[in-house]
Amino acid sequence: MKTQSMTRGEVESALARAGLEIPEREKPEIAAAAHFIEEMAARLRRKREMGAEPAHIFPPPGE
Amino acid sequence: MVPDFLTIAEAGALIAKRELSPVELVQSRLTRIERLDGKLNSFIRVLGDEAFAAARSAEAEIIAGRLRGPLHGIPIGLKDIYETKGIPTTGHSKVMIDHVPAQDATSVRRLTEAGAIVLGKLATHEFAFGGPSFDLPWPPARNPWDTSRFTGGSSSGTGAAVAAGLCLGGTGSDTGGSIRGPAAFCGLAGLKPSYGRISRAGILPLAFSLDHAGPMAWTAEDCAIMLQAMAGHDPADPASANRPVRDYRAALSGEVKGLRIGLIRHFYEIDNPANEVTQQGIANAVKVFEGLGCSVNELRLSPLADWAACGVMIMLAEGYAIHEATLRERFIDYGEAFRDRMALAALITGGDYVQAVRRRRELIAELGAAMTDLDLVITAAAPSEAPTFNSVSKFAILERPSLTMPFNVTGSPAMSVCCGYTLAGLPLAFQLAGKPFDEATVLRAAHAYERATPWRSIRPTLPPS
């Protein structure tokens, strides 16, 4: 499955939009680690039936 | 003269026979802390006066014939995410350095009601996530087997303190391996019980659906004793299981003949290859179990990277939700390891999180089906012995798939068990996991293994501070 790769600029923009004031020295280190998130998300995104339920569906209230 | 090293079971027996006073025992641990902890940094707060007061009270009760049980008069440490009434609970962070809880965590209350004596608050990775860190209000804990080495985390202080005999047991928490990792690196028995077995109420959270509280001690028997006190339904924790609590110590029959064990070899031979000495340690442990009459057969599951991705994405998303507001206001007040790791969670979408939780349901079903005709599974707890501090990178938790995360994903009881030492004297470990709420079988197997091997008689040699 093709993994979309974020550029350093895109990562930094995403973090800025999240409101995180990251020291300049740490920005490239975080950006360089962003691929881990993309790779894990791609691994988890597999073909499933529309009705494939997540874990932790809670029981009906009162039950 | 109180021995340097005592298990909870040993000390409890001496106290019950009135051959050891809780006051003497507490004094011996506080002296030991003063002598050794300057090099280990396991405690961030020692509660000497409070511990002595509790010890005198315990002694009076025992003399009056009111022994509460095997934990009465036993000195323990609490990971500094367990809230303690009137005593700061900081998460080892500048962000909560002034936080003084109004009440004890449920599990703390249960331990003290069982008679355990709290010696102090133990070092942790920042909020059970960011470490090892040298930029926090207190230094990181060091491994008593070799102080240039990492204890593992996040229950780092508990690992160091129990291994060094500074306390006889301690509490940890485990969201992706934070009990089992330090137990493995520090040569302890560390149990992550089933999700919901021990109340999370009053424990600073990292990820609501992955957090587990649990005991760390020298032996499986000691873990059973602590679990007995900590376990049970708690209405204050919405995930708390309303299931009967077994007599875990009574279940330690020593008999494991006929247990069926699945060996998840590919996790540590292919998916996250362990070093040769670790692989050999596990192979030797398998032979011990076979010699005890267990059947051990290879078990194949989804790749470790699937389990790790599922758990890590859930952990990051849930942890980020907890800390998001504070990260926006005070990013720089967190340590660098915590803040930069958690910043990555801002890249996770809502859709990514739901896909992880859908995968979680699939993996829970997979392990359940795989264990239909099994009692336990065995695999590695860590890919090697404890590494040096300077070899642990900031994003280490992402670089290789976690060997411990699968059993956080499924909520299964899982335990790290010491299986020997390297030539340099560093502990090795394997991991046992069981069916939901079958802590008794996990502990029984670990206990039988410990009795069949010499590892529990080997303690670290500690130079004075």
For the segment B413-431, what is each residue's pLDDT rounded down to a tens digit?
999 999 999 999 999 999 9
d(Cα B465, Cα B38) in Å, to the nearest integer? Answer: 5
For residue A4, pLDDT over 70 is answered with no
pLDDT for A1: 42
Flag if A41 and B348 touch (Cβ within 8 Å). Answer: yes
E-state strands within B272-332:
295-298
pLDDT for B68: 98
Flag if B356 and A44 touch (Cβ within 8 Å). Answer: yes
pLDDT for B465: 54
For residue B54, pLDDT over 90 is answered with yes
> Taking a C-beta distance cutoff of 8 angstroms, is the pair B345, A30 a contact?
no
For residue B261, pLDDT over 50 is answered with yes
Strand B427-434 to B260-263 pairing: unpaired
d(Cα B385, Cα B418) in Å, to the nearest integer? Answer: 11
How many whole angstroms from its chain centre is CA B169?
10
pLDDT for A5: 82
CA distance between the termini of chain A: 41
- Tell me how many helices (H) and strands (E) chain B has: 15, 11
pLDDT digits (tens, 9 = 90+) for B231-246: 999 999 999 999 999 9
pLDDT for A60: 77
pLDDT for A3: 47
pLDDT for B464: 61
For residue B346, pLDDT over 60 is answered with yes
Flag if A56 and B209 touch (Cβ within 8 Å). Answer: yes
Q: How confident is the model at residue A58 (pLDDT cuts 50, 70, 90)?
A: confident
| Sequence-ordered alpha helix ranges (H) in B41-100 | 48-63
Contact with chain B for residue A51, Cβ under 8 A: no
For residue B82, pLDDT over 50 is answered with yes
d(Cα B2, Cα B8) in Å, to the nearest integer? Answer: 13
d(Cα B277, Cα B273) in Å, to the nearest integer? Answer: 11
| Rounded mean pLDDT, B383-393 | 96
pLDDT for B42: 98
| Rounded mean pLDDT, B439-446 | 98
| Rounded mean pLDDT, A13-33 | 95
Question: For residue B265, which phi and psi values (nearest 5 degrees)?
Answer: -70, -40
d(Cα B141, Cα B161) in Å, to the nearest integer? Answer: 9
- Find chain B residues with C-beta within 8 A of A55's C-beta: 209, 357-358, 360-361, 364
Is B402 an active-site residue? no
Q: How confident is the model at residue B1 (pLDDT cuts 50, 70, 90)?
A: confident
Catalytic residue among B79, B121, B192, B435: B79
Cα distances (angstroms) measured from residue B212 to each of A54, B107, B196, B198, B352: 20, 12, 7, 7, 23
pLDDT for B316: 98
How many CB pairs below 8 Å do chains A and B form together? 97
pLDDT for A63: 66
d(Cα B260, Cα B24) in Å, to the nearest integer? Answer: 44
pLDDT for B260: 98
Task: Please identify among residues 18-37 of chain A the ones whose CB lies closer than 8 Å to any CB of chain B.
Answer: 18-23, 26, 29-30, 33-34, 36-37
> Taking a C-beta distance cutoff of 8 angstroms, is the pair B46, B30 a contact?
yes
Q: How confident is the model at residue B269 (pLDDT cuts 50, 70, 90)?
A: very high
pLDDT digits (tens, 9 = 90+) for B134-146: 999 999 999 999 9
pLDDT for B106: 98
| Rounded mean pLDDT, B377-405 | 97
pLDDT digits (tens, 9 = 90+) for B156-178: 999 999 999 999 999 999 999 99
Quote the percentage of chain A above a pLDDT of 90: 63
**In chain A, whose CA is at the least distance from the CA of B401?**
A40
pLDDT for A2: 38
- Find chain B residues with C-beta within 8 A of A14's C-beta: 346-347
Catalytic residue among B93, B133, B156, B178: B178
pLDDT for B4: 94
pLDDT digits (tens, 9 = 90+) for B32-42: 999 999 999 99
Q: How confident is the model at residue A55 (pLDDT cuts 50, 70, 90)?
A: confident
Flag if A52 and B358 touch (Cβ within 8 Å). Answer: yes
For residue B455, pLDDT over 80 is answered with yes
| Rounded mean pLDDT, B69-84 | 98
| Rounded mean pLDDT, B312-320 | 98
For residue B305, pLDDT over 80 is answered with yes
d(Cα B254, Cα B242) in Å, to the nearest integer? Answer: 28
